[in-house]
Amino acid sequence: MKALVIAEIDKHSLKQATFSCLAAAQKLATTVDLMVFAPVDHALHTYDFRGWSNVILVENITCETHLTAEAMTETILSQASTYDSILFPATMFGKNIAPRVAAQLNVGQISDVIDIESSDSFTRPIYAGNALAKVTSSDTVKIITIRTTAFSPIAESGPSSKKLTCPFLMEKWQKRVWVEKREGTQNLRPELSTAKVVVAGGRALGSAENFQLVEKLADIFEGAIGASRAAVDAGYAPNDYQVGQTGKVVAPELYIAIGISGAIQHIAGMKDSRIIVAINNDPDAPICQIADYTFIGDLFKVVPELIHELTTRKRYG
Amino acid sequence: MKILVPVKKVIDHTVKIRVKTDATGVETQGVKMSINPFDEIAIEEAVRLKERSIAHEVIIVTIGLETHQDILRQALALGADRAILVTAESATMLEEFDSLDIAQILKLIALKETPDLVIMGKQAIDDDCNQTGQMLAALLGWPQATFASQVTIESGIADVAREIDGGIERMAFQMPGVITTDLRLNQPRYASLPNLMKAKQKPIGTMKMSELNYTPRQRIVTQTVFNPPKRQSGQTLSSVSELTQRLFETLSPSS
Ligand SMILES: Cc1cc2nc3c(=O)[nH]c(=O)nc-3n(C[C@H](O)[C@H](O)[C@H](O)COP(=O)(O)OP(=O)(O)OC[C@H]3O[C@@H](n4cnc5c(N)ncnc54)[C@H](O)[C@@H]3O)c2cc1C
Ligand SMILES: Nc1ncnc2c1ncn2[C@@H]1O[C@H](COP(=O)(O)O)[C@@H](O)[C@H]1O
């Protein structure tokens, strides 16, 4: 059995999501190849390709290339014929492309897989994770997106991989669809979906200015920042901070929810965190039912005190 | 310009769902159902384009059952012009369609109606698949703009801001194409009583699945549905220093 993983990358490295996908792919196939959409020279100099069979580097990509779902799909399809499965991380990146690839192969797609029982049986959450479904697929090729928090990333080890190349097939699309610009969130923090500590704020913060309390607490742990939908909608935090059913799924060692009620859509994105701490003034808030530690009180009083104690202890302790 | 808006009837987002005891699915008997929230956002966007005279017709389509007329009326009351109901033979059959089946059927409808734009939800909140829009775009050979938080249409080009992992991507495509909606695209309106009355006059065309000459694949099959593991509820702490202590323990389990 052969599997192809579509790598999610940033400038500096293959993202952890990629290593989680590789781990999942190893449950499905003995040969696992990786496909990378990046300038070839940059990829060869920057990324550590070890431990799996082949790396397919996509040629004629520069920093200016429009990496549209349409062109990436064509390119993936040009290589698809020898694989029994193609895996993508269930991130905005993967979700955008995988269904397109599936439809063009006339096969289904299995979203957000959290467990692989066999080569045709998978478990995935439905209804915001309030139920789990075991699904089977009778398609000849399995197109899968992987919930990355459910698979521990493989370590980069082993012999270095064989490099192959293929062309980027964009001609058909470049006049019909293009990227104008990417407005990245300025972020010097660890990535939200893989951070060890996530401090998240909700509507109760009340303003973007007050949201800095969340940031200050996150700074102490060198953690990432999350937000509820209400906080994002109100403009306290950027959209890619949203944790939940329709935002990011996280599973850190520690998740601190500040002024977040814990609607099912929010809990869907963080309930697999190892330790959950809730700071809320309402003991009946649903978040308190799933939290390991609940502190009932006014966040504007508790959080500054907590920041103070933590910094003091960190310094002397 | 003509806009097609596919909508799905789902268990209302405020309902706490219950897994059926026979593990075949989720209890729907006597449970409040609504238009998928992302599809409401899609309807709103289409209606706004019509109100700005950018679009001249908004057509709603659902693949469902006779009993799904109600959400079509609801969509018409929100400002759509007409609706199409494609009925499956039975509720069981409808449940067995996978996303590619739905996308294939939507493709047949799109070929009939020749819309310039399809606007649909990014995700149905029951199956949480997030696939159908991308699949439909691929089947039609059209471009796609998923997770849209802003849409501008000018001279045959759709300019879309998309919510992506690291922020926002601004992209554009030559119509026809498919847009899928994210939460920040707009705030859907409520249907007023007069509009609900008016909606009764608007046409709903019904057709049976069998009339479309499409044989469902039903390749991705749900075998069992079960409850996720439950989290134990924890401790309530009463002092900040206790909380500080716990946080330190959490991060250094050995101490
Ligand atoms: C289709 C759909 C998708 C959605 N997807 C998501 C998603 O992905 N992620 C998500 O988060 N939400 C999502 N939502 C929204 C979700 O249903 C909730 O509305 C949202 O999570 C609420 O955010 P919140 O907890 O910040 O606000 P609220 O529910 O208003 O909670 C605020 C909390 O703060 C507490 N509080 C108030 N003042 C203080 C104070 N001074 N000190 C301490 N505590 C205080 C209150 O007791 C309350 O518990 C979605 C909704 C829909 C319909
Ligand atoms: N039965 C259906 N009828 C019409 N549209 C549908 C149906 N199922 C899904 N859709 C559309 O596809 C979108 C994405 O659904 P999904 O891929 O299932 O998450 C929804 O928001 C709807 O716009």
Strands B144-154 and B157-164, by their bridges, are antiparallel
The residue whose CB lies within 8 Å of the most ligand 2 atoms, and thus the one to mutate among B71, B119, B120, is B120
Residue A95: strand, helix, or coil: helix
- Interval B50-68 mean pLDDT: 97
Residue B255 has pLDDT above 50, yes or no: no
The domain ranges of chain A are 2-167, 192-316
Tell me the three-class secondary structure of A127-141, residue by residue: HHHCEEEEEEECCCC
pLDDT at B218: 82
Residue A213 has pLDDT above 60, yes or no: yes
B171 contact A CB<8A: yes
A164 to chain B nearest CA, in Å? 27
Whether residues B166 and A182 touch (CB distance < 8 A) is answered with yes
Q: Which two structure tokens, joined as six digits, stand for A243?
A: 């944790």
CB burial of A87-126 (b: ≥16 within 10 Å; e: otherwise) equals bbbbbbbbbbbbbbbbbbbebbbbbbbbebeeebebbbbb
Q: Which residues have C-beta atoms less than 6 Å from ligand 1?
A: A 202-204, 228-231, 242-247, 259-261, 263, 265-266, 269, 280-282, 285, 298-300; B 13, 37, 125
Question: With a CB-CB cutoff of 8 Å, which residues 271-290 of chain A face chain B?
Answer: 271, 274-277, 283, 288-290
Residue B5 has pLDDT above 80, yes or no: yes
Burial environment of residue B16 by CB neighbours within 10 A (0 to 12, 13 to 18, 19 or more): exposed
Residue B143 has pLDDT above 80, yes or no: yes
pLDDT tens digits, A177-188:
999 988 776 667
ipTM: 0.95
pLDDT at A137: 96
- Interval A25-30 mean pLDDT: 94
- Residues 6 or more apart whose Cβ sits within 8 Å of residue B53: none
pLDDT at A316: 63
pLDDT at A202: 98
pLDDT at A184: 75
Q: Which two structure tokens, joined as six digits, stand for B194?
A: 């007069």
Mean pLDDT in chain A? 94
Higher pLDDT among residues B252 and A106, named by residue? A106
Whether residues A180 and B171 touch (CB distance < 8 A) is answered with yes
- Residues 6 or more apart whose Cβ sits within 8 Å of residue B7: B35, B36, B39, B42, B43, B60, B61, B62, B71, B72, B75, B120, B121
Residue B254 has pLDDT above 70, yes or no: no
CB burial of A154-184 (b: ≥16 within 10 Å; e: otherwise) equals beeeeeebeeeeeebbbeebeebbbeeeeee
Classify domain A2-167 at the CATH topology level.
Rossmann fold (3.40.50)
pLDDT at A155: 81
What whole-number percentage of chain A has pLDDT above 90? Answer: 86
Residue B251 has pLDDT above 50, yes or no: yes
Strands B157-164 and B167-174, by their bridges, are antiparallel
A264 contact B CB<8A: yes
Overall pTM surpassing 0.90 (yes/no): yes
Distance, CA of B65 to chain centre? 17
pLDDT tens digits, B179-234:
999 999 999 999 999 999 999 999 999 999 989 989 888 899 999 999 999 888 79
Ligand nearest to the CA of B35: 2
Residue A76 has pLDDT above 90, yes or no: yes
Q: Closest partner residue to B222 among A92, A135, A310, by Cβ?
A: A135
Ligand nearest to the CA of B83: 2
Q: Closest partner residue to A127 among B26, B136, B244, by Cβ?
A: B26
Whether residue A47 contacts residue A14, with contact meaning beta carbons closer than 8 Å, is answered with yes
- Give the architecture (CATH level 2) of A192-316: 3-Layer(aba) Sandwich (3.40)
CB burial of A303-314 (b: ≥16 within 10 Å; e: otherwise) equals beebbebbeeee
Q: Which of A254, A259, A262 is nearest to A293 (CA)?
A: A254
Q: Which of A262, A227, A234 is nearest to A248 (CA)?
A: A227
Strands A131-137 and A54-59, by their bridges, are unpaired
Segment (H or E) for A86:
strand A85-89
B203 to chain A nearest CA, in Å? 32
Q: Which atom of ligand 2 is nearest to the CA of B61?
A: 4
Tell me the three-class secondary structure of chain B, residue by residue: CEEEEECCEEECCCCCCCECCCCCCECCCCCCEEECHHHHHHHHHHHHHHHCCCCCEEEEEEEECHHHHHHHHHHHHCCCCEEEEEECCCHHHHHHCCHHHHHHHHHHHHHHHCCCEEEEECCCCCCCCCCHHHHHHHHHCCCEEEEEEEEEEECCEEEEEEEECCEEEEEEEECCEEEEECCCCCCCCCCCHHHHHHHCCCCEEEEEHHHHCCCCCCCEEEEEEECCCCCCCCEEECCHHHHHHHHHHHHCCCC
- Interval B125-136 mean pLDDT: 97
Which residue from A minimizes the CA distance to B38?
A246
Residue B253 has pLDDT above 60, yes or no: no
Report how far apart, in Å, the C-alpha atoms of A42 and of each of A55, A204, A302 are: 14, 44, 47
B contacts of A96 (beta carbons < 8 Å): 134, 144, 146-147
B223 contact A CB<8A: yes
CA distance A71 to A74: 5
Read off the amino acid at residue B22: D
Measure A260 CA to ligand 1 centroid, in angstroms: 5
Residue A195 has pLDDT above 50, yes or no: yes
- What domains, with CATH codes, occur in chain B? 2-251 (3.40.50.620)
What whole-number percentage of chain B has pLDDT above 90? Answer: 89
Question: With a CB-CB cutoff of 8 Å, which residues 200-219 of chain A face chain B?
Answer: none
Residue A73: strand, helix, or coil: helix
B31 contact A CB<8A: no
CA-closest residue to ligand 2 atom 20: B121
Q: Closest partner residue to A293 among B11, B137, B237, by Cβ?
A: B237
